[in-house]
């Protein structure tokens, strides 16, 4: 105990160099523990984003790509799945529920997802927790929208506000569908998943805003009527030719002209006939106003070339496609068989992935980067410990007289070794604890920033077994490095410390 007190007093006597040594070790330990904490936290965050979902289905492509754009809002989809194919698999006997997703639009950098009531009924995250509303209600009408918690907070939206959706997934889209705005009807409770950074609308609403020229696509019957209308003037052209021939024939017949002259003369004698014609022309002139009103009424909707939100209802819209959909099976034993059937589907190129398997595949692809970061952090810790060793070793030259006095008052070589090893152990332990404290301080500050910028929630959790192993290794390495200056002091003779060097 006396030696330990002496070691602490010796370190306090060299406060500046001690603080620099502890600071360097703390920074290196913070890097090592921080890398591990972020790695584990990101894995937990990704794993907690979706739960109790057996399959994710979309068009053929990469399994990780399908997982990223469907669950984590990263990347862009390549193709869509037809509504008929989706309904065929949704009605499969092995499928208990599905959640359709429609992607491709955004609002001020936040993704807009088209879905239906099954999202609120079946979506689970973090061990089976259900989606809940913080305020308002879920989107039910054609142009209702429900906001994620982060969207409502960052954009300062409230219930009843209107938002316009932009085509495209970036900050700046291609076309803004401001002729069909959505009305905020609800805000989701905080989930600490990418759900918080998304905007949810109905599939019908997403379909309606993509109608060409703002109007619903024409049906087959309408196309047939248009074709007949275009063909009618062409057929009528033959009638004009026949009339021309009839006029030509009448021109050759002089008797016809005489008859016409007599008819004109007869009509000239009859004044009442002309009066009747004048009245008929006046009546037709009055009726012209009615035709003008009808023309104006027909032209009014075409002023801006768009059908507006108030002009259509959800029953008028027919969904034609989805981007992907989540599947929950009636029996977990059917998952692999159902996945095989979807992957072999001949009517449309589709693929199904198991979320857990796709996540493991993604982590395997990132394993090299994780290992590289960990090795860098370990070498940084070694550099910090070597700095401590250099500090203790070089300080022995300044402490020659201190060591000699201790030897002179009866401290044996073992006491000297113990003193220097304890100093090294104290420095390493203080640096490890300071580094651990620094990690949690930085995580508490960076957590909301990372969540806001990247949509990833890094949990602040107690040190795990790996972190404790790293801390123990740092302390042990510091303890062992303390023997290097201790052995040098042990070999130093008593007279060497008392002699005056010139």
Each residue's pLDDT tens digit, 141-156: 889 999 999 999 999 9
CA atoms within 13 A on the CB side of 403: 27
What's the alpha-carbon Rg for the chain, to the nearest Å?
Answer: 41
pLDDT at 440 over 50: yes
Q: What's the chain's average pLDDT?
A: 78
Which of the listed ranges 43-57, 147-161, 279-293 does the model predict with the highest average pLDDT? 147-161
How far is CA 25 from its chain centroid?
38
More confident position, 429 or 310: 429
Task: Give the tokens for residue 341.
Answer: 């059937």
What was the pLDDT predicted at 308? 59
DSSP 502: -
Give the per-residue pLDDT at 223. 42
Q: Is the pLDDT of residue 230 over 80?
A: no
What is the predicted pLDDT for the residue at 23?
Answer: 92
Percent of the chain with pLDDT over 90: 37
Q: How confident is the model at residue 241 (pLDDT cuts 50, 70, 90)?
A: very low
pLDDT given for residue 99 in this prediction = 97
Strand ranges for 259-416 from DSSP E: 321-322, 324-329, 350-353
Using DSSP's 3-state secondary structure scheme, residue 323 falls into coil
DSSP SS3 for 115: strand
Taking Cα atoms as reference points, which of 109, 106, 52, 71 lies closest to residue 194?
71
Provide the pLDDT for residue 312.
77
Of 52-61, 161-170, 352-361, give the lowest mean pLDDT range. Answer: 161-170
End-to-end CA distance of the chain: 37
The residue behind tokens 């062409």 is 234
Position with higher pLDDT, 200 vs 257 = 200
In the chain, % helix, strand, coil (3-state, to 5) comes to 65, 15, 25
The pLDDT > 70 percentage for the chain reads 75
Q: Could you give the 3-state DSSP secondary structure of residue 58?
A: strand
Higher pLDDT, 430 or 252: 430
491, pLDDT greater than 90: no
pLDDT at 494 over 60: no
pTM across the whole model: 0.68
Query: Distance (Å, rounded) from C-alpha 305 to C-alpha 212?
Result: 10
Q: How far is CA 75 from CA 111, 393, 462, 479, in A?
A: 11, 54, 33, 49
Question: CA-to-CA distance for 399 and 395, rounded, in angstroms?
Answer: 6
The predicted pLDDT at position 278 comes to 38
Instruction: Please indicate whether residue 1 or residue 18 has the higher confidence score (pLDDT).
Output: 18
Mean pLDDT over 207-227 rounds to 55
Predicted pLDDT at 271: 41
């Amino acid at each position: 105990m006396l030696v330990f007190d002496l070691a602490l007093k010796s370190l306090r006597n060299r406060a500046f160099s001690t603080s620099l040594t502890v600071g360097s070790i703390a920074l290196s330990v913070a890097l090592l523990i921080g890398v591990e904490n972020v790695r584990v936290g990101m894995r937990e965050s990704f794993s907690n984003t979706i739960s109790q979902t057996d399959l994710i289905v979309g068009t053929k492509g990469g399994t990780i790509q399908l997982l990223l754009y469907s669950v984590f809002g990263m990347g862009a989809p390549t193709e869509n799945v037809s509504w008929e194919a989706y309904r065929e698999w949704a009605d499969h006997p092995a499928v208990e529920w599905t959640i359709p997703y429609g992607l491709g639009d955004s609002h001020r950098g936040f993704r807009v997802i088209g879905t239906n009531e099954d999202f609120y009924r079946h979506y689970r995250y973090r061990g089976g927790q259900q989606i809940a509303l913080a305020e308002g209600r879920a989107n039910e009408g054609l142009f209702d929208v429900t906001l994620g918690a982060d969207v409502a907070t960052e954009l300062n939206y409230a219930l009843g506000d209107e938002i316009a959706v932009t085509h495209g997934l970036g900050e700046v889209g291609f076309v803004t569908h401001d002729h069909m705005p959505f009305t905020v009807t609800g805000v989701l409770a905080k989930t600490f998943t990418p759900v918080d950074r998304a905007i949810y609308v109905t599939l019908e609403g997403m379909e309606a805003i993509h109608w060409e020229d703002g109007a619903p696509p024409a049906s087959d019957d309408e196309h047939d009527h248009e074709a007949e209308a275009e063909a009618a003037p062409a057929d009528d052209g033959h009638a004009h030719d026949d009339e021309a021939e009839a006029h030509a024939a009448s021109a050759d017949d002089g008797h016809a002209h005489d008859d016409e002259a007599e008819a004109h003369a007869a009509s000239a004698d009859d004044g009442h006939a002309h009066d009747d014609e004048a009245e008929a022309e006046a009546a037709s002139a009055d009726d012209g106003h009615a035709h003008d009103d009808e023309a104006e009424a027909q032209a009014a909707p075409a002023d801006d070339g768009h059908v507006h939100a108030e002009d259509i209802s959800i029953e008028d819209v027919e969904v034609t496609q989805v981007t992907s959909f989540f599947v929950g099976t009636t029996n977990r034993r059917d998952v692999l068989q159902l996945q095989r059937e979807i992957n072999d589907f001949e009517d449309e190129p589709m693929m199904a992935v198991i979320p857990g398997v796709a996540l493991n595949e993604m982590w395997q692809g990132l394993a090299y980067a994780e290992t590289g970061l960990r090795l860098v952090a370990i070498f940084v810790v070694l550099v910090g410990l070597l700095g401590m060793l250099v500090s203790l070793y070089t300080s022995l030259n300044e402490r020659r007289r201190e060591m000699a006095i201790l030897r002179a008052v009866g401290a044996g070589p073992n006491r000297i070794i113990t003193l220097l090893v304890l100093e090294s152990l104290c420095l390493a332990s203080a640096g490890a604890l300071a580094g651990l404290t620094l990690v949690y301080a930085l995580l508490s500050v960076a957590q909301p920033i990372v969540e806001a910028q990247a949509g990833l929630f890094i949990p602040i959790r107690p040190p795990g077994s790996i972190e404790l192993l790293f801390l123990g290794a740092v302390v042990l390495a510091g303890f062992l490095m303390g023997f290097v200056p201790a052995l040098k002091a042990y070999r130093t003779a008593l007279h060497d410390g008392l002699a005056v060097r010139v």
